[in-house]
Amino acid sequence: MEVTHLDEAIELLEKANADLEPELLTGPDARELLGLYTRVQHLGSFGIAALARKIDDAPALARMTGTSLGKAKETVATGKVLGGSQELGGALRRGEISLDQASEIARAEGSAPGAAAGLLAVAKDETFHVLKEKARSVKLEAEQHRDLAGRQRAARSARSYSDDLGMMHIHLALQPHIGAPIVARAEAEAARLARAAKKEARPEPFERHLADGYASVLAGAGTGRAKRPELVVLVSHEVAKRGWSDVRGGEVCKIPGLGPVSPQVAKEIAGDAFLSGVIYDGKDLRQFARWSRHIPVEVAVALELGDPPGFDGVACADCGNRFRTEFDHVEPRAARGPTSNPNLKPRCWPCHQAKTKRDRKAGKLKPAEP
């Protein structure tokens, strides 16, 4: 077999590595060179995935690539999808995406054939975190009609272990409608603890308060109350009218931000829940505006469903993170920005703080004229 071109490429890359002295490069030059190395990595990933499909031996691949067995199995699975998707295979062949990006898209493509084209556009413009969330959503939506609820119930698990420091680690895998309220209570308790710590001038990273929050919830001692509902299930009116039997094209039965739930589970929840109606035209919620800091509860709940018609929940407008999101006034209230849906964007805590610093630097946080 002729591998002359690869031999030549390896020889050139070895020479480039030998000549590489990062300390002598300027920042822009280092960034440009990093882009070239990244392209080389992507191009090599195509060969690895394509040949992994042919070999179909995850343990051997793990040894050859120096990766974990789980990662090797993922690469083999990705290679198999590449063979049936021209869009995905072509993008990786051209070095436009990484192997990790290809693996996320391949999982979605395997469940929803034809999804690769849209996800490749996401990979081009968004962070890996956003791509992973979108691919997960596509996969779950496609599998909703394949006894997803039954497989989720069968997948529930719990395990615990202690580490070298003697810390106890607890891992729970819960069905979405059961896990979501627990997470909401723990985060509310953590927020209460964080506020108390700030008042006492002893702030700590939020993750530590969150650990204390979970401990309190598990012990039944938490007193924090969330401003948001602990669980929101969005169900198309047609699903309920039809007897909560199935979900058809263009309809939803889901927890925004988490994914689908079975109509039967949604019916049980609806039996003891506050019911709200959401009316939207096309892709927009009905407009609202309010010139105050407070966002009405019903409006906040509607916003947190995410953009229609997908209603995939909210994620940070800057980084795509879903953890600790809060609604930020794009044009600050101090600059007469209204509390209206066009002027509200979800941002995670770090991005919200960064946005506030930018607004302060731009002079937008000065008191507005009467």
Instruction: Kindly state the DSSP code that residue 368 receives in the 8-state scheme.
Output: P
Q: Which residues touch 196 (CB under 8 Å, ≥6 apart)?
A: none
Q: Would you say residue 155 lies in a domain?
A: no
The pLDDT score that the predictor gives to residue 367 is 55
pLDDT of 158 above 90: yes
Report pLDDT digits (tens) over 67-96.
999 999 999 999 999 988 999 999 999 999
Do the Cβ atoms of 189 and 223 come closer than 8 Å?
Answer: yes
Q: What residues does 347 pair with on adjacent strands?
A: 326
Compute the average pLDDT of residues 32-45. 95
- How would you write 304-366 as a 3-class SS string? CCCCCCCCCCCCCCCCCCCCCCEEEECCCHHHCCCCCHHHEEEECHHHHHHHHHHHHHCCCCC
The pLDDT score that the predictor gives to residue 370 is 47
What are φ and ψ of residue 183, in 5° steps?
-60, -45
Q: Please give the tally of structural domains in the chain.
A: 4
Q: Tell me the three state secondary structure of residue 220.
A: coil
Task: Give the range of the structural domain holding residue 269, as residue numbers without chain letter.
Answer: 232-275
> What band does 153 get if pLDDT is binned at 50, 70 and 90?
very high
| Pair (134, 9) in one structural domain | yes
| Pair (8, 135) in one structural domain | yes
Distances in Å between the Cα of 47 and the Cα atoms of 63, 73, 95, 180 are: 16, 16, 11, 41
- Average pLDDT value over all residues in the chain: 86
| Pair (195, 255) in one structural domain | no
With 0.75 as the threshold, say if the pTM is over it: no
| Pair (28, 112) in one structural domain | yes
| Pair (20, 126) in one structural domain | yes
Compute the average pLDDT of residues 171-178. 94
Instruction: Give the other-Cβ count within 10 Å of 333's Cβ.
Output: 16
